Amino acid sequence: MPATGEAARPQPMSPSAADLSTATVTVLGIETSCDETAASVVRLGPEGSVVLSSIIDSQIAKHAPFGGVVPEIAARAHVEAIDHVIRAAMDEAGLGYGDLDGVAATAGPGLVGGVMVGLSAGKAIALARGLPLMAVNHLEGHAVSARLEADVAYPFLLLLTSGGHCQLLDVAGIGQCKRLGTTIDDAAGEAFDKIAKTMGLPYPGGPALERLAEGGDPHRYPLPRALLGRQDCDFSFSGLKTAAARIAVTLTTEDERRDLAAAVQGAIARQLTARTERAMALHGQDRDPKDRRFVVAGGVAANGTVRAALLAACEKQGYSFAAPPLRYCTDNAAMIALAGAERLLLGLTDPLDVAARPRWPLDEAMAASNPIHKPSRKGAKA
Ligand code: KG4
Ligand code: ZN
């Protein structure tokens, strides 16, 4: 059954309406779906977007002793941080609530206890100040993150690769995403994190593994290639995770650890790139060459080896390459504010009773027809 408010969710009028708009809007964005409490003010107008402030209060130190995000700790920490993070974002922007045109908050997917904290704060400000509310899908935030202070037009092919998600999407405009492929088990960031943990590296594992891999030999340890018999754009990282864990327990020297880290990073980059090239081959043919744009977003887009491999693939396939600056790859509220501002310009606002959604696929039609994603606790997490 659809959650409250879902049925009323308005649909976009046209993919390019935001680009045609001459209005300028200033939007407060709030992000609390995982382990970062974040708030940001973004101004969007005909000249593009400007980030007036971006505050991120990370909970990494609170979760590090447990080797991963603990939902109850996260929700409590969001409650403690949310007020001062929003205050700091408004102060850094030098604005009062009267200067805002709308409030955007992540409404899912994510850890629902945290999502409810940020969404409730957004609703409270919207109600108190009589502002429109935009309930933003966290993945839509990542999808627009490369458009922050940069000239990246729609449509584009998007590789969204983070700790919770790994998908290839055809993005025609805000609210207009078609999923081309997804992971059948773990997300790439999750694979980085779990393999790093088996190698004794601190949380979050992705950046730690990238540092360890520096100067390592990626060919010393052969690792399995996933889904070799398939011709689709889906991902799988569980075989890689098991193989790496088996090797990790046999290692004795720092050199060996460095080489395994390099091999793991190389294998993840190779799979992300291979599926991206497949998506380009399958879906790029009938695309005007000027619309052959590729965007990579999400925490794993911060990885240098992954970025370099994807850039090389773009050069080979005749696609332009865009990635957000590193500070907007991992979770932040500027991307939520921008998605909210684009929605506001399209008239896509939400009622104040809109519900938090722990699971919320970007391409709802595809998710409903594809058994990889069931609206239950079963199926791929990402
Ligand atoms: O987008 P994000 O901040 O949160 C989610 O929405 O999941 O992504 C976090 C993920 C974590 O799995 C983290 O290990 C990974 O992104 N990550 C990296 C790097 N920086 C962050 N993975 C590989 N290399 C990095 N430099
Ligand atoms: Zn994220």
Ligand 1 atom having least distance to the Cα of 204: 14
For the residues of 232-291, what is the DSSP string, one character each? SS-B--HHHHHHHHHHHTT--SHHHHHHHHHHHHHHHHHHHHHHHHHHHHHHSTTS-GGG
Distance 138 CA to ligand 2 centre (A): 6
Phi, psi of 170 (to 5 degrees): -95, 110
- 311 Cα–ligand 1 center, Å: 19
Are residues 378 and 184 in contact, defined by beta-carbon separation less than 8 angstroms?
A: no
Nearest atom (ligand 1) to Cα of 142: 1
What is the arithmetic mean of pLDDT over 68-87?
Answer: 93
| C-alpha distances in Å from residue 296, one per residue of 101, 151, 272, 282 | 29, 15, 10, 18
Question: 286: CA distance to ligand 2 center in Å?
Answer: 31
Residue 381 pLDDT exceeds 90: no
Shortest-distance Cα residue to atom 11 of ligand 1 = 163
Q: Residue 284: is its pLDDT beyond 50?
A: yes
Q: How far is the CA of 382 from the centre of ligand 1 (A)?
A: 13
DSSP secondary structure letter of residue 5: T
Q: Is the pLDDT of residue 267 over 80?
A: yes
Ligand 1 center–CA 118 separation, angstroms: 21
**222-263 pLDDT tens trace:** 998 888 788 899 999 999 999 999 999 999 999 999 999 999
Residue 67 binned pLDDT confidence (cut-offs 50, 70, 90): confident
The residue ranking higher by pLDDT, 177 or 226, is: 177
pLDDT (tens digit, 9 = 90+) per residue, 101-126?
999 999 999 999 999 999 999 999 99
**Cα separation values, 182 from 34, 118, 338, Å:** 20, 27, 25
More confident call, 179 vs 378: 179
Output the pLDDT for position 66: 84
Closest by Cα among 21, 96, 122, 125 to 347 = 21
Ligand that lies nearest to the alpha carbon of residue 329, given by its number in the listed order: 1
Measured in Å, residue 300 CA sits from the centre of ligand 2 at: 10
Please name the residue whose Cα sits nearest to atom 21 of ligand 1.
299
Q: Ligand 1, residues 330, 359, 362: which to mutate, most atoms within 8 A of Cβ? A: 330
| 183: DSSP letter | B
Local confidence band at 139 (pLDDT 50, 70, 90 cut-offs): very high
What is the domain partition of the chain in residue ranges?
25-149+328-362, 156-324
The atom of ligand 1 lying closest to the CA of 268 is 23
Q: 48: which DSSP letter? A: E
Distances (CA, A) of 43 to 102, 103, 139: 11, 12, 20
Which residues are CB-neighbours of 313 under 8 A, at least 6 positions away?
273, 276, 277, 280, 319
Q: Between 205-213 and 254-283, two packed helices, what is the crossing angle to 10 degrees? A: 110
Could you identify the atom of ligand 1 that is nearest to the CA of residue 190? Answer: 12
Asked which of 11-25, 137-151, 199-213 is least confident by mean pLDDT, the reply is: 11-25
Q: Helices in 4-70 by DSSP H: which ranges?
A: 17-20, 60-63
What CATH code would you report for 25-149+328-362? Answer: 3.30.420.40
CA distance 16 to 42: 20
Cβ 367 vs Cβ 109: under 8 Å: no
pTM of the model: 0.90
Pick the ligand that lies closest to the CA of residue 196. Answer: 1
Look at the chain and count its residues.
382
- Top mutation candidate among 158, 160, 192, 240 for ligand 1, by most atoms within 8 Å of CB: 192
Beta strands, E only, the chain: 25-31, 36-45, 48-58, 102-108, 133-137, 156-161, 166-173, 176-182, 293-297, 320-322
- Residue 199: pLDDT band with limits 50, 70, 90: very high
Distance 189 CA to ligand 1 centre (A): 5
DSSP structure class, residue 21: -
Q: Could you give the CA distance from residue 34 to residue 193 in angstroms, rounded to a whole number?
A: 15
Name residues contacting ligand 1 (CB within 6 A): 34, 162-164, 189, 192-193, 204-207, 210, 298-300, 302-303, 330-331
Atom of ligand 1 nearest to the CA of 331: 3
Q: Whose CA is nearest to atom 16 of ligand 1?
A: 299
| pLDDT score for 21 | 61
Using the mean position of ligand 1's atoms as its centre, give its distance from the Cα of residue 203 in Å. Answer: 10
Rounded to whole angstroms, how far apart are CA atoms 86 and 380? 33
User: Span 257-277, mean pLDDT?
Assistant: 97
Query: Can 25-149+328-362 and 156-324 be said to share one CATH topology?
Result: yes
**Which listed CATH number (3.50.50.60, 3.30.420.40, 3.40.50.300, 3.40.720.10) goes with 156-324?**
3.30.420.40
User: Atom 22 (ligand 1): residue with closest C-alpha?
Assistant: 206
Could you tell me the distance, in angstroms and rounded to a whole number, from the CA of residue 63 to the centre of ligand 1? 15
pLDDT (average), residues 87-96: 98
Kindly give the number of the ligand 1 atom that is closest to the alpha carbon of 205. 14
Q: What is the mean pLDDT of the chain?
A: 90
- Cβ contact 172:15 at 8 Å: yes
| % helix, strand, coil for the chain, step of 5 | 45, 20, 35
Asked if residues 168 and 183 have their Cβ atoms less than 8 Å apart, the reply is: no
